[in-house]
Structure 1
């Protein structure tokens, strides 16, 4: 029971309890679990299933709100996995709905959403400029009644980032979701690459869950003819070969994802980091891809997370802009809300 207690705590911190429930159920082992752990897993699955139902409702509301704008509704990450009925969507929990629209339509989409009850969550002039000038999205929008949050993106990485995947390539390859007219996801390879870039160019608050997403996407799409043949080439065309390198190697390392050896050799040939960088990143990722729980930490876990947090900002902005941004945040911290 002590081991179960640790597992449940780790799974909750990693947002993987509902997914663990699905795995145990798939193996027909649920009835053999001790009563207390089984109750935790079942409760997590109930919450995840309720959220999936709520997200489907929310996506249809968003679709109706932006229908007249001429912009396609392309779902990203968790909402995409759920609405497309992918294995990565079962038991997946998330806090907002991420969508991708063409940049030239983003103002129309924002206006349409605001007419249907969504409002801006960032009112500080600097934060507005930060999002609209430098980032790949507008400030998050909150629905005044349902309290749902939408992140409206025009790209998958910031305008100022070192890696610059062309949004036009992603938009052109988007695929419709069956039985959801007007709603799309990224193409299978692009879904994997977006998940990889989100994890390995960003922060690691949900690192193990995000790597689990990649594992499940690769397992499902890997059975489709031609997927593996074109994955590395697509990563190169989108300037995302390095994130894919980390995604493939760490998925195989932690989840035993069945990546063909030829694909690993192909990504090694074009994106493998230098030996010092690889050694350092392995040490950092070994710690930050574990659940953020006391049972998984060692003396270097906190410094490792801090270094990868700094790396995420370094990849997101050039040095002069990063220095300006950090100085502004240090000199003008956000004020507490007042009535």
Structure 2
């Protein structure tokens, strides 16, 4: 995992061009942006700041090309959303868009320069079967053929197996909650749906601002794969700016109160630690940090927060080996947050056996 350098983070957060950059410096910076799925965000920021003319010609060409790709991607996603609406509108049930699709259709700040590979939906659990049937009737089918994996999704996860369109290849992840049933952070999706907001006249809904921020933090902590963690953290940074309230202290209180109600304070603390390190002068982040100190004393010194900062390259004296160890700890912590040990060990053993059996089955007899 390659951590973004401070020049890249300053570009992404502030639109400040690094001084004294030459060809190889820009080459490394663009490589970091690509590796973290941040190239589109970088291109959008530089274009919005009017800084494109000041860039070397090759850098400008690469960034302008990424913007053209993003425009095409946005068009394709909007087309798929029309097809999803056509499939689900007859059910008369609320359908929420999550993450990238919600950001795009609601034109929220994290959509700027963001691409994503699938469309995430959140529907009432009681309507899950009807939603799946309606989508299958319109061409989205499950490619998961293993009976064990089907049972695993439906018994323990917060979503059904992904559905892929037979002609267009678009992928839908249909959720009934934002954390697995087996997770200690699970709560019924109906709670979030009840407080959701309409996305204009699109027929879709989205999470309210405090829930958008908490879902972003939860996804970062439960995912375990940190290759694209900075994209999620920058999403969270943008979403914090949408919090309701008359001032930063009130906004922080609103988020902390909702996190406490949904029992998500630990994941909020883990996700907030890197933002505190990168933007110590940010007033909202400061109030959130102080508020967390009341309920989770010494939270920034607790292991998950320290591991996040180490793994993401925010400790100047941390060796590459130390960063890898921190990332490995976060990976296994994410597994344990999704599923307790007494369920996780048999599941991993079963998956390992299935993988070995498949390898032997497809091996060349020679």
Relative to the length of structure 2, the TM-score reads 0.84
Aligned counterparts, 1:1-339, within 5 A: 1-180=23-202, 182-203=203-224, 204-221=226-243, 227-255=251-279, 257-259=282-284, 261-272=286-297, 278=302, 280-289=303-312, 298-333=320-355, 335=358
**Contact 2:269 2:305 survives alignment (8 Å):** no
Answer with 246-255 or 210-219: which moved more. Answer: 246-255
Gap change, CA 1:104 and 1:172, over 3 Å in 2: same
Answer with 216-225 or 262-271: which moved more. Answer: 216-225
**Contact 2:157 2:180 survives alignment (8 Å):** yes
The alpha-carbon deviation at position 303 of structure 1 amounts to 2.8
Greater gyration radius: 2
Misfit runs of 4+, over 4 Å? 222-226, 255-258, 272-276
Find the aligned partners of 1:248 and 1:301 in 2 and give their Cα distance.
18
The alpha-carbon deviation at position 165 of structure 1 amounts to 3.0
Find the aligned partners of 1:75 and 1:93 in 2 and give their Cα distance.
15
Answer with 22-31 or 244-253: which moved more. Answer: 244-253
Gap change, CA 1:60 and 1:288, over 3 Å in 2: farther
**Contact 1:21 1:42 survives alignment (8 Å):** yes
Greater relative contact order (Cα < 8 A, sep 6+): 1
**Contact 2:313 2:323 survives alignment (8 Å):** no
Gap change, CA 1:267 and 1:275, over 3 Å in 2: closer
Find the aligned partners of 1:224 and 1:27 in 2 and give their Cα distance.
28
Find the aligned partners of 1:227 and 1:238 in 2 and give their Cα distance.
17
**Contact 2:70 2:114 survives alignment (8 Å):** yes
The gaps in structure 2 that reach 5 residues or longer are 1-22
Equivalent pairs, count: 331
> Once superposed, what is the RMSD of the aligned Cα atoms?
2.3
Residue deviations 1:2-36, cap 9 Å, x none?
Answer: 11011000000101011111111222111000011
Residue deviations 1:198-254, cap 9 Å, x none?
Answer: 102322231000001001111244677764341110111111111112233322322
